[in-house]
Amino acid sequence: MKSPKVGFVSLGCPKALVDSERILTQLRTEGYQVASDYDGADLVVVNTCGFIESAVQ
């Protein structure tokens, strides 16, 4: 069985970027590979920031 591939988009603040790194680390631990492009991904995760005010601080 081949490992599933995930594409990842991180938009927004630095906190979202840190969260994205944590998510990617967990997905790799669970056997996912990071796809080099979205067409080759089985799953695409879009992580954004909804807390602009607190993220600026």
> What's the number of domains the chain is made of?
1
Q: Is the pLDDT of residue 57 over 80?
A: no
| Inter-residue contact 49 to 18 (CB < 8 Å) | no
pLDDT in tens, 41-54: 999 999 988 766 66
What's the pTM? 0.74
Dig out the tokens for 54 from the structure: 């607190």
Instruction: Give the pLDDT confidence of 20-39 residue by residue, as tens digits.
Output: 999 999 999 999 999 989 99
Q: Could you list the residue range(s) of the whole structural domain that residue 28 is in? A: 5-56
Measure the CA angle with vertex 10, ends 44 and 53; round to 5°.
Answer: 135
Distance (Å, rounded) from C-alpha 45 to C-alpha 32?
Answer: 12
DSSP letter, residue 30? T
